[in-house]
A and B are shown apart, each in its own frame.
Chain A
């Protein structure tokens, strides 16, 4: 469980207490901690004087505002048509082999979460994936091994 006390307060200071501050604040928490804990959502709700259910409801609308525990590096493999046609399955397999987890799971050391996502705008360089905010394109099994190794060594 991470400490959000100062983070939420800092984000509120930066973005304000209006309803339209909500997205940047939630995005700020996710940027730092990869997902929204219940405590963080309640704290944001209290700061913005909106209900916690609404904060959860809003967060759960957006695929990148995870409300379930996520690893330090969230891998999102595009599953939409072109990536799917161009070998997404092999990419997932390679990642599952390497990380020893299935799609939707997080490695036991809390480093990686493997997810699928919808079209991320790299169809001409399919298959593609995001690791946190960084896109990786024209993926092959070899490229996956190289990239993930780099992250493992970070």
Chain B
């Protein structure tokens, strides 16, 4: 068989030729013929189970699923014949009959794929009987991050494929059969009690409102309107390159300045930046790495674990707690930027501003659903209070902007407030896979050698890109006196995004098949820009555009190295003394716990 052999076929009497192995759906896309789909998702393997995309193949006894059926030479396809329309209408009606369609109250109202199909295929009275009753009472509210509502589930299994293919977690799987078939955790335990990492990738891919984040919008409004409270808000790096999508912009638009203005208009008392604490993370984590290297290379300390992995991604943390508990000593003890910020908001910030930390409400806006869980971890109260009170996703934030009647497009740009509003380009790139690694190297290399990293414009391109697992090494040369032990050392790094890739790396490391010094892991595909709290839909093109925007943002900033952030320098001078100081350890570092296997 020749490679790239072209197959000729006709769809709705239009000729098209596509490479062998293409599906009818792909061939139709080439002709700009729209075939509706539901279980199909660009990021996932083909399922062919919803049957919304059935089309007529001339000469065939039955209709075929366009998403699953490979093209054959001479094939003639009709995508809109009467037979197709009737079947498709039936399929949509059947799905609606098992779906609790309280659309006006639904979190996914107007961004629901089933609703869109219903608008096209099912008007007026429903043909079939309502089957929802049997699934009522099946809403799992127990988690602080993810709500699973089986009464809205249409069993397309996108979530199941996401959880297994992209994340290798399989906290949810298909259970039962026939009418009892549904999506279950292990023996239907609450989602908060199983291996779910709260990454929210299933939420991003659920076509309906069956999987959503738990929303805290009203709690935040209450805090804002409580005059006693001083409400600070922090925004994660990845939010500024995706928020626009929920407000009518194309993917990849940077809306940082408008976003800050919007937050001020919403009534937050101080609009600050997680990027500030991302810079801080680099200082702490970079120092931790160098210390570990010294302990291993010089002191030959057997108790110090290498490679060290990053700890910014709470989905990744929960993953390793469940799956590789023996490797927890390898995880950096640094809290994530969100939590470092929360910690400082109720200590350093309160002190500087003369505020009673009890009256500070700390809100974070994150591209992430796992951050909701992280903020609720009992360890995250080193300030003496809950360090971060409420975590909102990018999506919830967009809803607040709409609720407030803000015309986002016409907003002027404005700057973050201070304290804890300054940041560097190194912090912004935390939002993209490879970003933490790049930021860490920019700083660590300079600490060790006194020189900037040997890359054009500080852009460490080998750690960038969408490859699932990236490896890069950097020879350290010209070390300063105190770092002489690193002279000539080849610093070996790996970067993984998506937990399936993380699993590959950790599997190799745990079996001794890979020797790295430092590993960056992000739970979500593409890193935080592809986080579970980001605007829906997602696919690789959208994620790439967000990443491009992240690097543009980096290039646009005057300071691009964490250790040059003036507010960071001031923080160490005034409060923390130096990286990894006793105080820093008390406030900014944490520990992890082994968790259940189911």
Residues of A at the B interface (CB closer than 8 Å) are 38, 41-42, 45-46, 50-58, 60-61, 67
Contact = CB atoms under 8 A, between A and B. Distances in A.
B333 to A, nearest CB: 28
A35 to B, nearest CB: 12
A51 B171 contact: yes
Contacts of B186: 38, 41-42, 51-53, 55-56
Nearest to B176: A60
Contact of A41 (B170, B174, B187, B195): B187
The residue among A38, A57, A61 with the most chain B CB atoms within 10 A of its own CB is A57
Interface string B148-171: 000000000000000010000111
Interface residues of B, number: 18
A56 B184 contact: yes
Interface in B239-293: none
B530 to A, nearest CB: 22
Contacts of A60: 175-177, 184
* Residue of B173, B176, B194, B597 with most partner-chain A CB within 10 A: B173
Nearest to B188: A56
Contacts of B234: none
B172 interface: yes
Contact of B597 (A52, A56, A61): A52
B208 interface: no
Residues of A contacting B: mostly:
helix
Contacts of A41: 186-187, 598
Contact of B598 (A45, A57, A58, A67): A45
A53 B185 contact: yes
Contacts of A56: 173, 175, 184, 186-187
Given A41-B186, A45-B597, A67-B187, A53 B172 contact: yes
Given A38-B187, A41-B186, A41-B187, A54 B173 contact: yes
Contacts of B170: 50-51, 53-54
Nearest to B173: A57
A60 B175 CA distance: 6
B184 A57 contact: yes
Contacts of B194: 52-53
Nearest to A60: B175
A61 B174 CA distance: 9
A34 to B, nearest CB: 17
A41 B194 CA distance: 14
Nearest to B183: A57
Nearest to A46: B597
B175 A51 contact: no
B174 A57 contact: yes
A41 B184 CA distance: 15
A41 to B, nearest CB: 7
Contacts of A67: 187
Nearest to A52: B598
Interface in B167-222: 169-177, 184-187, 194-195
Given A51-B164, A52-B194, A55-B186, 17 more contacts: A38-B186, A38-B187, A41-B186, A41-B187, A45-B597, A52-B195, A52-B597, A53-B185, A53-B194, A53-B598, A56-B175, A56-B184, A56-B187, A57-B173, A57-B174, A60-B177, A61-B177
A67 B184 CA distance: 14
Nearest to A59: B175
9 contacts: A38-B186, A38-B187, A41-B186, A50-B170, A51-B164, A51-B195, A53-B175, A57-B174, A60-B184
A41 B176 CA distance: 15
A137 B173 CA distance: 38
A51 B177 contact: no
Contact of B173 (A38, A46, A53): A53
A51 B184 contact: no
A38 B173 CA distance: 15
